[in-house]
A and B are shown apart, each in its own frame.
Chain A
Amino acid sequence: MDLVNALVVFANFVLIPATAYGAQLALGALGVTLIYGILRFSNFAHGDTMAFGTMVTILCTWGLQALGVSFGPLPTALLALPIGIAATAALVLGTDRIVYRFYRRQKAQPTILVIVSLGVMFVMNGIVRLIIGVNDQNFSDGERFVITAREFKAATGLAEGLAIKTTQAVTVVAAIVVVAALFWFLQRTRTGKSMRAFSDNEDLALLSGINPDRVVQITWILAAALAAIAGVLYGLDKSFKPFTYFQLLLPIFAAAIVGGLGSPLGAIAGGFIIAFSEVFVTYAWKKVLGYALPDAWAPDTLVQLLSTDYKFAVSFTILIVVLLFMPTGLFRGKS
């Protein structure tokens, strides 16, 4: 039995990756939940909005790298991120003006808007593939690790190493900053308050003189910023591939629904619930249990509940359980 090493292995392979992944999902789910709260439809194009923001950021990163600009130990992509956000915001505002506004004026049913967002998804997907192609793009640079496994072993004298990638640290810090700023905005500023009022009761908000067009525009800008940031962080941590971003839709929506659609707090909780369950269920626990249990009980199989290919099944199962037992989600979103 060696609990310290068990904890280190656990932190290295479960806690840290799941936290970073959870932060990325939470940012994605926040965007989905904001759109849902204000515009009242599930935006299927969100994954491809993330891909678009990431693509612009990658292109700018390459430009900066060509100019010889770097961000010291941090990834250059963070410098390019504001341009990515601005481009994504311009894209979604344009989409809203050309596509969504018409249906909003018509007071179309939510399902129609969802199908419209499918069309938008096709177009964005096409644009991204046209410009950057379908292949993996790795655009992370700067220092790779905050702590490498070897340094950790040398410093602590333990048998197991603990590595923290720069991208993981950046993800968590950025997510905390973004979420704090978003909540400050929603709770403290006049615009944020008007957004919450609009989400709670549209008619009442209109009666009290809130300008709906402005609320909708701010929502799209926030959603675009969240999508671009989530996309870039995910791309830095793993890699950028348009199809993977499309597939992120499922865990992101699962996170938003588990937390309760329309509830920002719920989206964050949902993101971490989905991420931790995915990693917990698909991680092979052999090593952790080998340290944590007495030698006689040490397992000789991998102790992997499901193969990693079934990670979708995990978010899906959680989604189904939540739909069955609490359709409004953990934080009482809209049903």
Chain B
Amino acid sequence: MNMRNLMLFAGVAILFVLTGILQSWNLSLSILNMALLSAIMALGVNIQWGYAGLFNTGVMGFTALGGLAVVLVAAQPVPEAWRAGGPGVLLALLVGAGVLAAAIALHKRMPRGRMRTITLLVVLTGGFFLFRALFDPNAEAIEAVNPATSGYMGGLGLPSLWAWPVGGVLAAAAAWGIGKTALGLRSDYLAIATLGIAEIIISVLKNEDWLARGVKNVISLPRPWPVPYEVDLQQDPRFLQVAAEWGFDPVTGSSILVKLLYGGLFVAVLLALIWLSERALNAPWGRMMRAIRDNEVAASAMGKDVTGRHLQVFVIGSAVIGIAGAMMTSMDTQLIPGTYNPLRFTFLVWVMVIVGGSGNNWGAVLGGLLVGWLWLIVESLGPIVMSGVTASMADGPLKAHLVDSAQHMRLLTLGIVLLLVLRFSPRGLIPEK
């Protein structure tokens, strides 16, 4: 951390303070919380791209898996649904996994040839129909239980904080599966494969109603441990007394306090992750990763297992993204699969990493905070600016179109920012040491 980097962080802090003064502290803090989450995601992408040169375009999918973890861990269980089909669904999933394991074992054990292909096809096709036969009736039974209010199995009813590591584990498991197949091939293949897995994770979330209610969304998930509800705060005499002493409105004050508490939690996680990443980066492991990134041939000639290390770093980075995804859902207290959009959750995070400085953890965090602020502030300022610009125009379809299209300007702007940074400052704001 030298003077220049501190100035950069101070500059970003000033942006948030100005937002607070000129617009509202509520807005500033909610942007800050989202930006902190984005910074954690950017940290995860930086672990993959900056340390190892892996191109992951499935950030959205790992984020959504983190969100799913919150539902599975923290949502209230639905006992009737469990009785209706819980064990059956679990059994079906186990059978499905067993079929895949059997197919992999057969593939390894049997000699190459037509016999193996036929056996594998029979096992996989038979397994698929067996899975469907076990799965479908149970899933339907679960979805039939009070479809308007539940219609899913619910979670374990545990504290929301526990979902954060679970989100990391879910994302890591998915990353292991995808890395096992696509790593070691051309670098572009990982990009395409992760792009695909992200779309599939979202379509699973949208369609498997028994799991997380699909497009009916899971709402009112519990908040993580120290964060109270605004309504409770506003009736808490101690809080009201403090509010009266300091002279602020209890309603605004309660929502600011809640956001501050979330922000505190996020900062704690972010700092812990940065500390771990910095330790790893400066350890022999980090030097090995950079050696592999800079020259794979030389590193493997030195006896380093390039594909194995790549798999490791891919899983770790995805786990960090999964944790951030879980944190996001536990802040929103709802899981809405329809809101996961690759431009917002995958490519925006990439812009953050590149703008901030790939290979440098502080750079990724700075990029996350700066681009996160830019993205969200334009959402609230864009229409205002656009209507200011078009104020002198006559009312008509063109003016309406321009005001409506303000939100698309940010795609254009971000694309141009990304291209400019790549061209003129490819090492980003805080370059790798």
Q: Which A positions have Cβ atoms within 8 angstroms of B?
A: 41-42, 44, 99, 102, 110-112, 114-116, 118-127, 129-130, 133-134, 246-247, 249-250, 253-254, 257, 261, 305, 307, 309-310, 312-313, 315-316, 319-320, 323-324, 327, 335
Contacts and interface: CB of A to CB of B under 8 A. Distances in A.
B189 A316 contact: no
A290 B86 CA distance: 33
A257 B423 CA distance: 29
A123 B347 CA distance: 12
B3 interface: no
A137 B207 CA distance: 26
B386 to A, nearest CB: 11
28 contacts: A42-B191, A110-B188, A111-B53, A111-B55, A111-B187, A115-B350, A115-B418, A116-B422, A118-B350, A119-B418, A122-B411, A122-B418, A124-B415, A126-B412, A129-B405, A130-B405, A246-B342, A250-B199, A254-B192, A261-B188, A305-B128, A310-B200, A319-B196, A320-B182, A323-B182, A323-B193, A324-B181, A335-B185
Contacts of A249: 195
B187 A130 contact: no
A133 B416 CA distance: 19
A254 B185 contact: no
Contacts of B173: none
Interface of B: 53, 55, 57, 128, 181-182, 185-189, 191-193, 195-197, 199-200, 203, 206-207, 342-343, 347, 350-351, 354, 401, 404-405, 408-416, 418-419, 422-423, 426
A111 B350 CA distance: 13
Contact of A133 (B187, B193, B405): B405
Contacts of A124: 415
B189 A323 contact: yes
Contact of B412 (A130, A247, A254): A130
Given A115-B55, A115-B350, A127 B404 contact: no
A110 B187 contact: yes
Contacts of B342: 246
B192 A253 contact: yes
Given A111-B55, A125-B343, 9 more contacts: A102-B423, A115-B350, A122-B347, A123-B419, A127-B412, A129-B405, A309-B203, A310-B207, A312-B200
A320 B53 contact: no
A313 B200 contact: yes
Contact of A118 (B181, B188, B207, B347): B347
B419 A119 contact: yes
B25 to A, nearest CB: 31
Those 6 A-B pairs whose CB atoms lie nearest each other, nearest first: A122-B415, A126-B412, A123-B415, A126-B411, A129-B408, A316-B196
A254 B196 CA distance: 9
Nearest to A134: B408
B411 A114 contact: no
B131 to A, nearest CB: 11
**SS class of chain A's interface: helix, strand, loop or mixed?**
helix
Nearest to A249: B195
Contacts of A41: 188
A324 B120 CA distance: 14
A310 B414 CA distance: 31
B199 A312 contact: yes
Nearest to B180: A324
Contacts, number: 129
B276 to A, nearest CB: 26
Contacts of B411: 122-123, 125-126, 129
Nearest to B203: A309
A111 B187 CA distance: 7
Contact of B196 (A114, A246, A312): A312
A257 to B, nearest CB: 7
A335 B412 CA distance: 34
Given A257-B189, A313-B203, A323-B182, A99 B405 contact: no
Contacts of A42: 188, 191-192
B267 to A, nearest CB: 29
A118 B355 CA distance: 14
A99 B191 contact: no
A316 B419 contact: no
Contacts of B413: 126
Q: Which of B189, B192, B426 has the most CB of A within 10 A?
A: B192
Given A42-B188, A102-B423, A114-B191, A315 B415 contact: no
A316 B207 contact: no
A247 B199 contact: yes
A129 to B, nearest CB: 4
Contacts of A316: 193, 196-197, 199-200
B298 to A, nearest CB: 16
Q: Which of A123, A124, A127, A254 has the most CB of B within 10 A?
A: A123
Contacts of A112: 422, 426
B274 to A, nearest CB: 24
A316 B185 CA distance: 16
A319 B193 contact: yes
Nearest to B348: A122
A234 B315 CA distance: 37
Nearest to B202: A312
A120 B57 CA distance: 15
A45 to B, nearest CB: 10
Contacts of A44: 57, 191
A111 B53 CA distance: 8
Contacts of A257: 189, 192
Contacts of B199: 247, 250, 312, 316
Contacts of B187: 110-111, 114
A327 B53 CA distance: 20
B405 to A, nearest CB: 5
Contacts of A253: 192, 195
Nearest to A252: B192
Given A119-B418, A122-B347, A125-B415, A130 B188 contact: no
A41 B207 CA distance: 34
B415 A99 contact: no
B378 to A, nearest CB: 12
A305 B244 CA distance: 63
A114 B188 contact: yes
A47 to B, nearest CB: 11
A307 B209 CA distance: 13
A68 B53 CA distance: 55
A307 to B, nearest CB: 6
